[in-house]
Amino acid sequence: MNNKPRIGVYVCHCGINIAKTVEIDPVTEYASQLPNVKVARNYSYMCSDPGQLLIREDIEKEGLNRIVVASCSPRMHELTFRKTLAEAGLNPYFLEMANIREQCSWVHEDVEEATAKARKLVASSVAKARLLEPLEEKEVDVEPATLVIGGGIAGIQAALDIANAGFKVYMVEKTPSVGGTMAQLDKTFPTLDCSACILTPKMVDVASHPNIELMTYSQVEEITGYVGNFEVKVRKKARYIDMEKCTGCGICAEECRLKNRIPSEFDVGVGKRSAVYLPFPQAVPAKYTVDPERCLFLTRGKCGESPKCADACPSQAFDFEQADEMVEFKVGAVIVATGFDVFDASRKPEYGYADYDNVLTALEMERLVSASGPTGGKIVLGKGDEAYTPKDIAFIKCVGSRDESVGNEYCSRGCCMYTAKLAHLVHEKIPDANVRIYYMDVRAFGKGFEEFYDRVRREGVRYIRGNPSEIFKRGDKLVIKVEDTLTAKALEDEVDLVVLAVGLEPRKDVREIIDLLRLSQSGDRFFLEAHPKLAPVDTATDGVYLAGCAQGPKDIPDTVAQAKGAASSALILLSSGKVKVQAQIAIVNEATCRSCGYCVEICPYGAIEMVEANRMGHIVSVARVNEALCKGCGACVAGCFSGSIQQKSFKDAQILPQLAVLGVK
């Protein structure tokens, strides 16, 4: 093949997205004058079928062997145009893109400046395109298994879908049971389905599915490797109970000396548990766990004469010598379904959450109205003789959402509807209750939401538009200070119970996952998806997908839908069985390698090794790149003392000509 570059330059109008600020014709004309450019054209949408056809026809008719597309970001359409080249029989890596939309026409208003910049960007791309080389895309096998991190409804749904399709799933859940936040809810809006009734069958399925290996009370410690071939290390924390022997009878918890003295995580502190516990009655697996931070025997080495729990256990399941267990396995894909944290209401001190017992968060209220909750579903406050049923109940919405003062600009998407649901449940349980909801806006956007909101108002719940400024105590009552912004009246509302509709926040341990998987966060600190619209479950790391509230606040239907999406993405990878590995990798010139081995130290992937080579009869040690392991970062290239390593498609010789164009005024 004649290697003399014959370049085609294609300038895209992108409707008026580019054409509005960049004068297309002069740029095309300028491009046609550049060295080695045989064809320069422009078209309204290069990415459209006719646009791509234009390129394919020119490759055939004009014998083009390099293509420059000046359009949107390569992050948008590089793969599209690589395919175009391949379809015309050209190596897909003979493509260079000039980003004249995101980084030019959209960020500059001045037509003259933008056009001049577009010219430069095109010239820079042509300068590089002349020197592009064909690259080979290698394929590797995909390990037919998936790691699902997080055992809430998102993780459960994704795991079940993948397992039902016939692939192995490893599910790792941090707490002793799967179920997540959904298990804590009483009813679900807008249908008032009992949350446990629809969730527990799925929890049981996860535990009993032959394709799912469930690891609860476990933590992912390390993930190495790359798409199709991740190596995972999981720490199974010691439960101090033999899972095989425990029957879940619960006698140990009855006997525990700390019975009813430790705030239950599941009941968000409203209820109490023992130091050996089952998080909730329907927990899966139904096995007890000793809390190592609370258990007297584990913290002090002594619990009476001997631990009563172990003595009482009919199946001798206790093992206080048990140690954490490390498990290692390989997967092809990873689904991150780590969920969220509830906003800490004490960060809004004006609402008195930390000061008053009758200011609750919505999740605490959820446990209070739940039949499986500590009060058996009765809404009672206070203890013993002082217990009373609140009559005047106020909800305050958007606590920790849409609030720049706590750093959360976003809407948590669920609070409007769960508030309406809780208000309905309060009415159901306390028919003469007087319920009002203080709101900024009501966002009833989903299927059946508006209807439910109307129903709750018909039931007598009053919606008052205003954001309370303060809550304080007066006698037995709580006083809410607020301005009704529809009547412009200042109100002081006396109530028995305030429920704060707290929003959703990224988990406090979000950093652990970022460090494991190199994920990015969006502005709201939730995980960043690969594209907000077209790749909402993918991440920048190939083979890693997002599901549920880890990606952003959402309700149960959306979470399930996204989990199914993530499962589908993982399944595409697993069922194709092959994945293309990075082609733009490092390559060593063994003739000039000085054998120093510095690159071996630099490479974060251990992809470079020193091997023996014959250099004119002498055996010398030279660096060699393992093509399957190299990710193409180029750190070794810039680090090489003798300039013997280059990165394909990002060689010094390919970048310096770009500089020669861009550096000059």
Q: By CB under 8 A, name the binding residues for another protein.
A: 73-76, 99, 101-104, 106-110, 113-114, 116-117, 120-121, 124, 514-515, 518, 520-523, 528, 540-541, 584, 602, 604-605, 631-635, 637-639, 647, 650, 652, 655-656, 658-660, 662-665
Cβ 470 to another protein, closest distance in Å?
Answer: 33
Q: Residue 443 CB: number of other CB atoms within 10 A?
A: 20
Cβ 34 to another protein, closest distance in Å?
Answer: 16
Nearest Cα residue to 543 out of 574, 512, 511: 574
SS (H, E, C) 233-282: EEEECCCCECCCCCCCCCHHHHHCCCCCCEECCCCCCCCEECCEECCCCC
Q: Residue 350 CB: number of other CB atoms within 10 A?
A: 11
The residue type of 400 is G
Nearest Cα residue to 327 out of 170, 143, 512: 170
What is the dihedral angle through the alpha carbons of 201, 207, 210, 211, rounded to the nearest 10 degrees? 100
User: Whose Cβ is closer to another protein: residue 464's or residue 607's?
Assistant: 607
Cross-strand pairs, 213: 170
User: Whose Cβ is closer to another protein: residue 137's or residue 515's?
Assistant: 515
Cβ 661 to another protein, closest distance in Å?
Answer: 9
Cβ 120 to another protein, closest distance in Å?
Answer: 6
Tokens 């799912």 correspond to 212
CA distance linking residue 211 with residue 206, whole number of Å: 9
Report whether 397 contacts 501 (CB < 8 A): yes
SS (H, E, C) 333-362: EEEECCCEEECCHHHCHHHCCCCCCCEEEH
Report whether 540 contacts 530 (CB < 8 A): yes
Rg for the chain, CA atoms, rounded: 31
Cβ 42 to another protein, closest distance in Å?
Answer: 20
- Phi, psi (deg, nearest 5) at residue 261: -120, -5
Q: Residue 541 CB: number of other CB atoms within 10 A?
A: 18
User: Whose Cβ is closer to another protein: residue 417's or residue 528's?
Assistant: 528
**β strands within 150-246, DSSP E:** 168-172, 187-188, 193-194, 212-215, 218-226, 229-236
The residue type of 191 is T
User: Whose Cβ is closer to another protein: residue 572's or residue 660's?
Assistant: 660
User: Whose Cβ is closer to another protein: residue 304's or residue 532's?
Assistant: 532
Cβ 650 to another protein, closest distance in Å?
Answer: 6
Cβ 642 to another protein, closest distance in Å?
Answer: 13
The residue type of 233 is K
Cross-strand pairs, 170: 147, 213
Cβ 127 to another protein, closest distance in Å?
Answer: 11
Tokens 């005024």 correspond to 665
CA distance linking residue 12 with residue 170, whole number of Å: 46
User: Whose Cβ is closer to another protein: residue 90's or residue 114's?
Assistant: 114
C-alpha distances out from residue 398 to 423, 443, 465, Å:
15, 11, 12
Nearest Cα residue to 143 out of 333, 406, 325: 333
User: Whose Cβ is closer to another protein: residue 56's or residue 525's?
Assistant: 525
End-to-end CA gap in the chain: 37
Nearest Cα residue to 67 out of 332, 76, 87: 87
Cβ 432 to another protein, closest distance in Å?
Answer: 49
Cβ 9 to another protein, closest distance in Å?
Answer: 17
User: Whose Cβ is closer to another protein: residue 116's or residue 423's?
Assistant: 116
CA distance linking residue 149 with residue 194, whole number of Å: 26
User: Whose Cβ is closer to another protein: residue 31's or residue 528's?
Assistant: 528
Report whether 364 contacts 181 (CB < 8 A): no
User: Whose Cβ is closer to another protein: residue 584's or residue 589's?
Assistant: 584
Cβ 15 to another protein, closest distance in Å?
Answer: 15
Cross-strand pairs, 40: 9
- How far is it between the farthest Cα atoms of the chain? 98
Cβ 625 to another protein, closest distance in Å?
Answer: 14
User: Whose Cβ is closer to another protein: residue 378's or residue 631's?
Assistant: 631
Cβ 321 to another protein, closest distance in Å?
Answer: 37
Cβ 605 to another protein, closest distance in Å?
Answer: 8
Query: Alpha-carbon torsion 58, 59, 63, 66, what sign?
Result: positive
Cβ 624 to another protein, closest distance in Å?
Answer: 19
Report whether 536 contacts 563 (CB < 8 A): no
